[in-house]
Amino acid sequence: MANTEAALKEATTIEGAIGAALVDYSSGMALGTVGGGKDMDLTVAAAGNTDVVRAKVRTMEMLGLKDEIEDILITLGGQYHLIRLLKGRGNNGLFLYLALDKQRANLAMARHQLKKIENELEV
């Protein structure tokens, strides 16, 4: 089992990774961040992506969908932003956020690796 810091460091080894965060979407707070930089404030990204997750959860409730969100993909001109909601072991209300350089990333592999990190994460 990996702790938050180890899991986020592993996420930044994913090809094309710019930065990663573990976020509590009930509060919008980043519980941990790795990477980012002057052009990518991960605490701002954590808060903003919390709104995305809340909106999708609310929409699913209004539609009466009895399903779970695996991940949410936001595609920008030069980046992918991947949001993976954590399930099980008391992880409800948390998501992993990964920003990727679109030119260097393999989206299918990134999703696969993020799922593996989720399975190993102990919060």
Note the residue count of the chain: 123
User: CA 83, CA 100: separation in Å to the nearest integer?
Assistant: 11
Nearest to 19 by CA among 3, 39, 1: 39
Q: In what order do the strands lie in the sheet with 17-24?
A: 29-35, 17-24, 94-101, 79-85, 71-75
Q: CB of 99 within 8 A of CB of 18?
A: yes
Give the bridge partners for 56, in sequence order: none
Asked if pLDDT for residue 20 goes beyond 90, the answer is: yes
The tens digit of pLDDT for each residue in 70-118 reads: 999 999 999 999 999 998 655 578 999 999 999 999 999 999 999 999 9
| Whole-prediction pTM | 0.91
CA atoms within 13 A on the CB side of 19: 19
The 10 Å Cβ neighbour count of residue 76 is 10
